[in-house]
Structure 1
Amino acid sequence: MTGSAAESLHACRTNLGPAPRTFDFGDKRRYLRIPLPEWIAAAEPLREILWQQNTLLREGRLVWASLVQADERLFLPGVHDHPSTVIYSPDSAAFDEHPDRLRAMAHALKAVKSAGHEDPERGAFAAMLADETHYLPRVRVPKSLAGDDEVYCTHIIVCRRHLPDGVLRSALFPLIIHPDLTPRAMMLPSRYWPPELAG
């Protein structure tokens, strides 16, 4: 990523436009909407993302997200979409310019998952991350990791056609959220990313 993180996110916001947004139906059908995955029956809670994606696209706002864990197939060329675990903060003032702080927390969460902890809060969070059949709607990251920052962990569906070249290459990306209407979130389709972010 060249330039400042805040500039890249601002470019995404400009490209997407202010809410409420309207999209050409054909364009939305072909590109913007996440298709129904074949595996959704085994991940029923994630169906809510599909129900809420129109609301997110039309009314949501953009923040940085950092990847905690993802299906390894997303890092290779392929055709199927897969779920992933991410963290984000609705506090733009704290993280627009410093998404690297989110990335550091994501690394710490990954370490929490693979290590035992006497701290009950961290232990409970580690158990949730380890259970890959438990799809989080939105859970606050433990204060022992996030401090006073408002940071949440959630699952998203990573849609191949929303990725540059169809491959997940970066741990940081813009996420669409609307905390007032839904705990779910979705990756901003890369059509709206600036070149420095997509490259």
Structure 2
Amino acid sequence: MQQVIENLNTVMLDNLDIKDLILNLPKPLRPYLQVAPSMWMYEDPLYGQIKAMRMLYTTGKIVWASLVQANRNLFEPEWISCAGEVVFDPSGKMQPVQLVEAAEQLFSLKGTTPKVLDQQNYAAHLTNEFTRVFNYPFPQSLATLPLKMSSMWFEYRHLPGGLLAMKVFPIIVSEQNPNYIMPLPSYFWPNNFFKDKWLELAARENGGGLYDVEKEVLNKITNKVYLEEILLQPKLPQIFEEQIPRESAVTSSSKTKLSRFFLLFLAVILLCLFIFLNK
């Protein structure tokens, strides 16, 4: 796994534009963009991530993130959507291997009581496991890095193999609302080698059997046997109405004036024709 991570770099994400990826997704597959929030989320601050998904899809940027910690069900073939914690560079400039090093520094704070306040606060959060942080600054007493930490909900259907097989993965961030992030659905992941390695590792956790969750989900959507629409968020019109260019007020006004002129001209012609025929 370490060798795979070392082969990853920020260049892989440079040509990925989430808005283009959304627009190029075949229309029948659009439900893939949606998630089915767990019931407990409705009373959890993480539900803000669900409400922010439309904004992330329409204004977001794709960057690498590294896992700090997560619910243990996400590491096993349980296929349950759960919460976790990641560290990332909002600018997307830091290399994946550097993010892993930062994540390991952060995780080492768990269960400790550091004397330095910024480490102490984050250590208490990690140890608790039920608190949430959003766009939280990296402890500068550890290293002067422009990194952020955020709690995040993982939709298992958006992960290859349905589980966390590696410490690094792409996420979506947005300057318009930096408090919430989400994993980039694996259909859009940039590198087949990376995804294949992820599936290979996931298969080991599954006792050697490969369960390609992404493929199964897409098959269910295609065959219209996916989840009930009422369970899915965000609603598709919320995503795609933001992607459709709207006519400017000037263009719309010009078309209205032209229509009125045409109708007036037609009325004059008809009136003249009526007068001519009744002479």
CA offsets, 1:105-151, max 9 Å, x none? 1111111122221111111111122222211122101112231x211
Tell me by how many angstroms 1:27 deviates.
2.9
Please name the residue that 1:5 is paired with: 9
What percentage of aligned pairs have identical amino acids? 25
Map 1:149-168 → 2, pairs under 5 A: 149-168=145-164
RCO (CA 8 Å, sep 6+): is it higher in 1 or 2? 1
Query: Under a length normalisation based on structure 1, what TM-score does the superposition of the two structures give?
Result: 0.86
Q: Separation in 2 of the partners of 1:90 and 1:71?
A: 24
Say which SS state the counterpart of residue 168 (structure 1) adopts. coil
Q: Give 1:36 deviation, angstroms.
A: 1.5
Residues 56-79 of structure 1: per-residue CA shift (max 9 Å, x gap): 112100111000001111111123
2:121 alignment partner, one of 103, 120, 124: 124
Map of 1:92-111 to 2, 5 A cutoff? Answer: 92-93=92-93, 95=94, 98-111=95-108
Structure 1 Cα separation of the partners of residues 35 and 134 of structure 2: 17
Deviation track 1:130-176 (CA, whole Å, cap 9, x = no partner) reads: 222211122101112231x2111101111111111112101000110
| SS of structure 2 residue aligned to 1:146 | coil
Closer/same/farther in 2, CA of residues 45 and 195 from structure 1, 3 Å limit: same
Query: In the aligned structure 1, how far is the partner of 2:8 from the partner of 2:77?
Result: 29
For the residues of structure 1 that align with 2:45 and 2:83, how far apart are their CA atoms?
11
> Is 2:30 the counterpart of 1:34?
no
CA contact 2:172–2:183 (8 Å) conserved in 1: yes
3-state DSSP class of the match of 1:87? strand
Aligned position for 2:77: 77
Q: Does 1:183 align with 2:169?
A: no
Matched, 1:48 2:22: no
Q: State the Cα deviation string for residues 4-41 of structure 1 (Å, max 9, x = none).
A: 41343236x16x4548x546665333x21221112214
Higher mean alpha-carbon deviation, 123-132 vs 63-72, is at 123-132
One-letter amino acid matched to 2:159? L
Q: Show structure 2 runs of 5+ residues with no match.
A: 197-279
Residue 10 of structure 2 contacts residue 64 of structure 2 at CA under 8 Å; is this kept in 1?
Answer: no
How many residues end up aligned between the 2 structures?
190
Q: Are residues 41 and 133 of structure 1, via their aligned partners in 2, closer, same or farther at CA, if it must alter by over 3 Å?
A: farther
- CA distance in structure 1 between the partners assigned to 2:36 and 2:27 by the alignment: 15
Return the letter of the residue paired with 1:33: Q
Secondary structure of 1:143's aligned partner: coil
Distance (Å, rounded) in 2 between the aligned partners of 1:4 and 1:73: 26
Runs of 4+ in 1 over 6 A off after TM superposition: none
Alpha-carbon distance in structure 1 between the residues aligned to 2:40 and 2:104? 27
Structure showing the higher strand proportion among its residues? 1
Separation in structure 2 between the aligned mates of residue 99 and residue 153 of structure 1, nearest angstrom: 15
Q: Is there any run of 5+ residues in structure 1 with no aligned partner, and where?
A: none
- TM-score, scaled to structure 2: 0.63
Q: Which residue of 1 aligns with 2:88?
A: 88
Closer/same/farther in 2, CA of residues 36 and 8 from structure 1, 3 Å limit:
same
